[in-house]
A and B are shown apart, each in its own frame.
Chain A
């Protein structure tokens, strides 16, 4: 399992008081874990800090609202982790790290 998923799962467990062992890569943050938008802001803050990125939540939400993307693309954890990895790679590229 990727370290990104382990970190994200731990963040979700600690932020939302969800048992860690119920969180899997296929869990949907909203539909399966019942995380609401406010709790997801807390998660986003923790992820931003942990990975040194800025999750583009507004862009994602807009895409979902416009029918250009599904919630699964961003909020199923394995997909969320893939997005985080992309953002971290882009961030490192931008800083030349």
Chain B
């Protein structure tokens, strides 16, 4: 996890296109300027970043279902519950599953667990459009390789 680059997902643990589910792992850094302010003397991962982690995991799931031909963007957070604090250094398991695939959008349920215990969950809406430019597509290709996205899905 590189918070300063908004890289919240470290690697894909499981991607099941039949079941339309994904499980990814994300290691919260032990140190970050974010923790200096959130909060002094009591560092915890901001809830908005946990939501972002769930959105990114959801995005990778949708990218796979879209055969890497369209780019998902966060459209709405329908609900989000922060059920427990996440501390620096903890390893997050982020799971997501498709609830509904609409035309140009999808609804996804996502959750974060630490040591098997639920810390937060959210229902997220992603819209998707054709990749707006080759630079973004190239960046996503590079990230896909880094996090272990199945390369057979990444069509040229």
Contact indicator A54/B102 (Cβ below 8 Å): yes
- Give the residues from 62 to 78 in chain B that come closer than 8 angstroms, CB to CB, to chain A: 75-76
Closest to B125 in A: A41
Closest to A44 in B: B102
Residues of B within 8 A of A54 (CB): 101-103
Contact indicator B75/A41 (Cβ below 8 Å): yes
Main secondary structure of the interface of B (DSSP, over half): strand
* Bound Cα distance A61, B104 (Å): 10
Contact indicator A48/B100 (Cβ below 8 Å): yes
How many A residues have CB within 8 A of the partner chain? 14
Known contacts A41-B127, A45-B107, A57 near B76 by CB under 8 Å: no
A29 to chain B, nearest CB (A): 16
B103 to chain A, nearest CB (A): 4
Residues of B within 8 A of A55 (CB): 102-103
Known contacts A38-B75, A38-B76, A45 near B103 by CB under 8 Å: no
Interface residue? A14 (CB, 8 A): no
* Bound Cα distance A61, B103 (Å): 11
